[in-house]
Amino acid sequence: MIHPHIYTNGHICLSIIYDDWSPALGVEAVCHSMISMMSSAKEKEPPADNEMHLDAGQSGSAKKVNALLGSC
């Protein structure tokens, strides 16, 4: 999926699952926010800083797979 708030490494840029997280938020609220975010994208493109996040937190084998897929 290509979306301006979803990185190719699987990270999702959504404030309520990071900085704005609160134990008062239920699963329903998080899912609703994710659905709303995904349906509101006007452009189908990766985040502008996607390359910076691509290697973050990946193992050596995951980096190799991404390198191979990126060269296709």
The CATH number that applies at residue 33 is 3.10.110.10
Q: Which residues are catalytic?
A: 13
| Both tokens assigned to 57 | 């937190």
Q: Which DSSP symbol is given to 8?
A: T
| Cα–Cα distance, 21 to 17 (Å, whole number) | 5
pLDDT by residue for the chain (72 residues), tens digit each? Answer: 688 888 888 888 898 988 898 999 999 999 999 999 888 878 778 777 777 766 655 555 556 665 655 543
Residue 61 lies in a domain: yes
Residue 3 lies in a domain: no
Say if CB 55 and CB 43 are below 8 A apart.
Answer: no
The total number of structural domains that make up the chain: 1
- What is this structure's pTM? 0.56
Q: Which domain holds residue 35?
A: 15-70
Neighbours of 7 (CB within 10 A): 19
Q: Which pLDDT belongs to residue 5?
A: 83
Q: Using alpha carbons, select from 53, 47, 54, 52 the residue that is nearest to residue 69.
A: 54
CA 46 to chain centre: 9
